[in-house]
Chain A
Amino acid sequence: MSRFILRRVLYSLVTLFILSATIFVIVRLTGDPLALMAEASARPEDLDRIRHQWGLDRSWPVQYATFMQNAFKGELGKSFNYRLPVSELYFQRLPNSLTLGIAATLISLLIGVPAGIISAVKVNTWWDYVAKGVALLGLSIPGFWLGLVLILVFSVWLRWLPTSGAGDWRHVVMPALALGWYFAASMLRLTRSSMLEVLGSEYIKLARLKGLPDVVVIAMHAFKNALIPVFTLAGVNLVVMVNAAVIIEVIFAWPGIGRLLYEGIFQRDFPLVQGVVIMAGFMIVAINLVVDILYAFIDPRIRLTR
C-alpha cells in the first residue's frame, strides 16, 4: 500500500511539474506584457526599465527556474498589476470563491441528484423525458445568458436581489444558481446513468426477488452505490467552480478567483495567471490523489492492478 501511495504522490508531482512548465510557456506565448503595460508614447528607456523591474529581460529558463524556486517556498511571484504576492491575492479571493463554489455545488446536487434518480427509476416515462430536457437545457444554455436573465428577473423586475458584488446571502443566490445550473445538468446525467447501471446489476435483482419494496431497494441498495462517482465528480466540479467560474464572476462582479484569472489573462499578468492555474491544478491533483488512495483502501484490486 505504501508503495502505491508513493507512486501516486510521484505521479502527482510529475503532473504538477508538467502543468507548471506548460502554463509558464503558454502565458509567454501570448506575447510581451509590455505591450499592455506601457503607454503609447513610451520610450525604449521606459520599456527597459519595466522589463528589468519584472525580470522579463532574463531568459525563459532563468525565469522558470526562479519561478519554481519560489514556488517550492510557497511564493508564486508578485502580480504585475496588483503589486501583491499572488498567493496573498489568491487567498484574499478564496473565501468568496469557496462560498460561491459550495453554494453552486449544493444547488447542482439538490437539482441533479434527485432528478437523476427519478429519471433512472422512471426510465422512458415522461419524468425521464422532462429530466433529460432539463439536462439538455442546463448543458446548452450559456452561463452569461442565464446570468443576465436572472439579473433581469430578480433584480430589475422583482427587485428582490442585488445585481452584483459580494455581501450577504442575497448576493450569492443568483451567481450560485447560474453557476450551479450547468453542473446540475451534468450531475443529473451522471446520476441517471450510474443509477441505471446499478439498477440493472445482479444484487439489485436479488433484492427485488427477496421481495423488498422499491423504496428500500432504491434508497438502501442502489442509491448508495450509484453516488460514489457522483460525489467524485462533485469534488472535481467544486474545484473547477472555485477556480474557474470566470464568466459568472465577471457577469455578477463577484470578487472571486475566476475574475482574478480573467483580469490576469486580460492584462497579461504572467505571475497571476501562473499562480492561479498552479493552485487550481494543485487542488485537482490533491483531490484525485486522495480519491485514488481512498479507492485503493476500499477496493484492494485497484492497488494490485496499478
Chain B
Amino acid sequence: MRRPRFEARVSFRVLAVVLLLLAAVSTALPLASPAGAAAKGKLVLAWHAGFASRWLDPQEHDGTATPDNFFTALHDALIKNQGTELYDHLALAERFTVAADSRSATFTLRKGIRFHNGEPVTPQDVKFSYESYRGAKADVFKKKTERVEIVDDRTVRFQFKEPFLDFAILFGTANVAGPGWVVPEKYYKQVGADGFKQKPIGAGPYKLVRHEPGVKVEMEAFDGYYRPVHVKQLVMTAVPEAATRVVMLERGEADIVYNVPGELIGKVSKLPGVTLAPVLSGSFFIEFPGFQDPKNPFRDKRVREAVSLAIDRRAMNQAETAGHGRVTGNWINPDVQYAIEWPEFERNVDKAKQLLREAGYPNGFDVDWVTPLPTFYSRGERIIAQLREVGIRGRLQTMERGIFFQRLQGGLKEFPGTQIILHGVRIAGSWSFWYEGYFKCGGFNSRDRICVKDLDAKFDQYERSVSPTERKKLAEEIQRGILENHYLVPVFRHAFVNAIGPRVVAQKWQDVFPTVTTGYAYPWEDLKVKDQ
C-alpha cells in the first residue's frame, strides 16, 4: 500500500517540478520563442525621401511626424501610440498610473526585457533617457519635472513640480516627442550621441544590421523582443522618385512603398496583387492672414463664410486624392485628444454671393496671393478656380518648402495685403498642439497673422487648468469659436497613399497600417510575408 502511494507522491513531485521549471523558463525567457525563431522572409520598404540619421535617435526627436517610422522598429517606449490607442499602448511598461493630482506618474517595466546588445532594460536607462532627452518639447519636460525616482528594479516614478496633465500624451506619442523612448545608458555614453545615430542599439523589435546614412537601413528581427516578430529581415531604403518606387513595387523589389502621388494612383491600383493603402493624414485648411485689419475684406465674418461656401471640398478630394481623402468639418484631425467632431461645411455658391453682396462686395474683390503648402500647388489652383465662381479673384503664389515655412514664421509682414494661405498640417497628440502651432498669437507658425484675444485668453486658461473636465470644455469652446467664426476654413483631410505588394500578408490595407495616428506601417513586428 505504501509503495503505490510513494510512487504517486513522486509522480506528483516530478510533475510539480516540471511545471515549475516550465513556468520559470517561460518567465525568465519569455522572449526566446516569440520573436526570432519564427521570423522568416524579408520585407523591403521604399521610403519617399532621404533618411536623416537623427531619426534613429529618440534623444533628439525633432518633433515631426517622421522619426516614429524608425523608432518603432529599432527602439521601444514605455508607452506609445499604436493601433487605435493614441498614446497609452503599453510597450516596455507593463502598467502605468498617473496620480489623481497629475503630480506624478509611475511606470512598471515588463520582466526580462532587453536591449539588442543583451543588456537588460532598467529603470536607470529610463531615468537616463528622460533626463538627457534634448529633443522637441524637452524644455516642457525639464521645466515641469522635479525628479525621476527609481522605486525598485522595475519601477520608476516621475515627480512633477506642478500638475502635468499633458504628461502622458506628450510622453507616449511617438510623433510628438521622445523622452519615453528608452536608450541604453551605458552604450549611449560609450559611443556618444553621434556614434549612437550611426549604430543605434534599442529595445525594439528589430536590431540594426547595416546603416548607410541617407540611403538604407537594414534590420533583423530581435529574438529578445517581448512580442512575436514575424519578418526576419526588414530593409528601409530611400527612393526619392515616386515613379521609381512604383516600379520597384511592380517588380517585387519593394513590398511597401510610401507616398504614391495622385497621378500614379490609377496605375498602382491596377497592378496585380497590389493593394492601395490610403491612410488619412493631415488636414488642409484656409487661413486669412491679418484678417483683423479694418481694410482687409476677410475682417467681415460674412466674407470668410462666403469663402467656405465657395469651396467644393468633395471635388477637391476626388481630384487630388482620387477620393481617398475625407471631407471633415474640423481643421484639427479627429485622432488627437479633445478634437471635436464637426459637420461637413456645405457648398452653396448662391449663398456665398449673397453674403458677399451683404458685406459690400457685389462684384467680389481681388486677393493678392493664394499660397498653398508646397508642393500642393494644384490644390491652390483649385481653390482659386472655386473662389472665382463667387467673384473672389486670386493669383497663385508658389514657394519652395523651406521658404514657405520661413515666411510663415516671419509673421504678417511676409503676407501683406489681402492673402489666403492653404495649409496642410498633421500634428499628433493633443488638439492644443494644433492651436499653439497654427492659431495662437505668437505661435510657431501663426506668429502675428492671427490674433483672436478672447480665444487666446481661453487657451491660457486651458493651459493653467488642472481639471480635465474644464480643459475638455475649454478645448471644445475654443474649437467651436474658430469654426463658427470661420477664422480658419477646413477643406479636407489629405490621404497619404501608400501601396502594399503581393508578398505582404494582408486581408485589407488596415492590416498593414493599423495605427490611426500615423501614415506609417507600424507596429513592424506584426507584419507578415508569405512563404517564398
| A interface, CB within 8 angstroms of B | 30-33, 35-43, 45-46, 49, 78, 81-84, 89, 92, 148, 151-152, 155-156, 159, 162-165, 250-253, 255, 259-260, 262-263, 266-268
Contacts and interface: CB of A to CB of B under 8 A. Distances in A.
B432 to A, nearest CB: 8
B15 interface: no
Contacts, number: 145
Given A30-B402, A38-B444, A81 B214 contact: yes
B195 to A, nearest CB: 9
A35 B50 contact: no
Interface size bucket, B side?
35 or more
A172 B140 CA distance: 50
Contacts of B136: 38-39, 42, 46
Interface in B379-417: 400-403, 405-406, 408-409
B194 interface: yes
A41 B444 contact: yes
Contact of B197 (A83, A251, A262, A268): A83
B406 A251 contact: no
A38 B213 contact: no
A258 B436 CA distance: 38
B22 interface: no
B238 interface: yes
B139 A151 contact: no
B401 A84 contact: no
Interface of B: 49-50, 52-54, 62-64, 134, 136-140, 176, 193-194, 197-198, 212-216, 237-241, 243-244, 247-248, 250-251, 253, 400-403, 405-406, 408-409, 425, 427, 433-434, 436-438, 443-445
Given A83-B194, A164-B239, A267-B50, 5 more contacts: A30-B403, A36-B401, A39-B63, A40-B445, A262-B50
A255 B215 contact: yes
Given A41-B436, A92-B213, A35 B53 contact: no
A49 B138 contact: yes
Contacts of A255: 212, 214-216
B243 A84 contact: no
A235 to B, nearest CB: 28
Nearest to B445: A40
Contacts of B253: 162-164
Contacts of A81: 50, 52-54, 214
A148 to B, nearest CB: 6
Nearest to B136: A39
A35 B406 contact: yes
A69 B425 CA distance: 41
A258 B241 CA distance: 14
Report the 4 A-B pairs with minimum CB-CB distance, sorted nearest first: A39-B63, A35-B405, A263-B50, A41-B437
26 contacts: A31-B402, A38-B63, A38-B136, A38-B444, A39-B64, A39-B176, A40-B64, A40-B427, A42-B63, A46-B137, A81-B52, A82-B197, A83-B194, A84-B198, A89-B213, A151-B243, A156-B250, A156-B251, A163-B253, A255-B214, A255-B215, A259-B50, A260-B214, A263-B49, A266-B401, A267-B50
